[in-house]
Amino acid sequence: MIFRNPCRPLLLALAICGLTAISTGAAEVPGAINQKGVAPNSPAPAGEKPGTLDLKEALRLAWKANPNLQVSRLQSLIAGQEVVRARSGFLPTVKSEVTQTIFDDAQKMKIGGGAGPAGSLAFPMTNRNFWSSKITVDQTIFDFWGTPARYQAAILGKRASLLDTAKTQEDIFLAVAQGYFQVLRAQKLVVVAEQEVRQLKDHLKIAQDQYEFGVVNYNDVLQAEVSLADAEQRLIVAKTDVINIRSALNKVLALPVSAPTVLKEEDIVTQPWGLEQATDVALKQRSDFKASEDRILQQEKVVTQTRAGYYPRIFGQAGFSYQQNDFLLHDTQWFAIFGLQWTLFSGLDTRAQVSQAKLRVNQIQEQHKDLEKQVRLDVQNAYLQVRDTAARIRVTQKAVTQGEENLRLNEERYKEQVGTATDVIDAQTLLTRTRVNYFTALYDHQMAKAQLLWAMGAINTLLSQEKSPNAP
């Protein structure tokens, strides 16, 4: 039997009123924190924290310093040098050589048809030990479109490489945008966890006071302590998640991994595209899709280049030679040659090369068809995700308001001794879950919009204040 003191109800009422005033000060909609993660009644910050980044600045950092993007740019430079090599086929080849020749016996010319040494005369034609030099200029006149095809293929390859760099940039921009909003979401979940801990501490205090006054048994206190410990554990995990996600973003931005990067709230603004319109834009703007088209054309030029091996090469050659010689009247000569080089049989090597080039064309065409389907799928998935997250925001925002009211009613019932501690803790758990769902939907919506821009090949437009060279 619980002993009741006539003075205790008055003291209990005063204690509950004081805790009610403390716990209800943070009750706002949606949740006790707004979309900026700041308590509604708290003063606005006097200024931005040092090192604060917005989304555009984060994209600029990645554009300038991301190592993967740097590697892709170097690959484009390599492709540019391939164009230079291919263009060299239109220009003459200039060669020079200097040699030293030593014979065991000087070359001689025989005159006369008599038998034996007395019947003929032999005159030396070269020195036994001499040096010579030669310079030649060789120019391909016509090789049945082999050189022009190689040059055109190199140009298309360079253009495809630049588009690959643009694709790498778009992928990095998507990673930056997603990482940016993941950090913001993780920070909001920390605030939600902190609020849950704070409210459970208030509930624990009420339960302890009611136990001391003999209103409830000790089981309510134990239940509140266990729930508080569980909430504190979730808070620890949430804070660790913030550090890990922020470190991953720092790596993409080429910042020190442990840098305490501070991010501003952002809202990606997109046009109200329809699915068909977004798909049409993607097929026109996606860098990987345009690069695939260029590679088909490039490989077709390679077919022309390899087919030129069936035909002759017409060339011209001119030069100057000098040979040390004590027996000839002139030891220097100018010369010009017009000729034709033709490989009549190469062991079926040329035929195999042409067959390989044609098969690669078919291979790239099949990949291009699959890529077109993938582009359509990317746009559809992102489009539906944007619509889905927008609906989730509306539902969860209302659920937060309802969850707060549910918690308030159960707290009042508990104070009036018509409700149980389990009802209060269940209401608190439900409210925390709805707040988590709300902020998850809020930032999933931002990431879905970034995903849609990426799927359309338009994510570079996020860098509107300083467009990159490949921005559409």
Residue 208 to residues 220, 221, 225: CA-CA distances in angstroms? 8, 6, 10
Inside any domain, residue 325? no
Inside any domain, residue 330? no
Residue 109 to residues 102, 323, 327, 340, 399: CA-CA distances in angstroms? 18, 18, 11, 32, 111
Residue 255 to residues 169, 181, 259, 307: CA-CA distances in angstroms? 17, 17, 7, 51
pLDDT attached to residue 337: 94
Domain span at 260: 8-33+49-97+144-316+347-463
Inside any domain, residue 121? no
Task: Please say if the pLDDT value at position 51 is more than 70.
Answer: no
In our burial notation (b when 16+ CB lie closer than 10 A, e otherwise), range 417-438 reads eebbbebbbebbbbbbebbbbb
Residue 86 φ/ψ, nearest 5 degrees: -65, -35
Average pLDDT over residues 195-206: 94
Inside any domain, residue 111? no
pLDDT attached to residue 328: 79
Inside any domain, residue 114? no
pLDDT attached to residue 341: 92
pLDDT attached to residue 1: 35
Instruction: Answer whether 32's CB lies under 8 Å from 240's CB.
Output: no
Inside any domain, residue 134? no
Inside any domain, residue 159? yes
- At 111, is the pLDDT very low, low, confident or very high (cuts 50, 70, 90)? confident
334's CB contacts (< 8 A; 6+ apart) are 318, 319, 320
- At 329, is the pLDDT very low, low, confident or very high (cuts 50, 70, 90)? confident
- Helix, coil or strand: residue 159: helix
Average pLDDT over residues 249-266: 93
- Going by the DSSP 8-state scheme, the letter that residue 258 receives in this structure is T
- At 117, is the pLDDT very low, low, confident or very high (cuts 50, 70, 90)? low
pLDDT attached to residue 115: 54
Question: Among the listed ranges 208-217, 241-250, 288-297, which one has the minimum average pLDDT value?
Answer: 208-217
Task: Please say if the pLDDT value at position 19 is more than 60.
Answer: no
Q: Nearest CA to 203 among 470, 56, 419?
A: 419
Domain count, the chain: 1
Look up the pTM and report it: 0.80
Q: Residue 109 burial (CB < 10 Å; 0-12/13-18/19+)? A: exposed
CATH code of residue 188: 1.20.1600.10
Inside any domain, residue 118? no
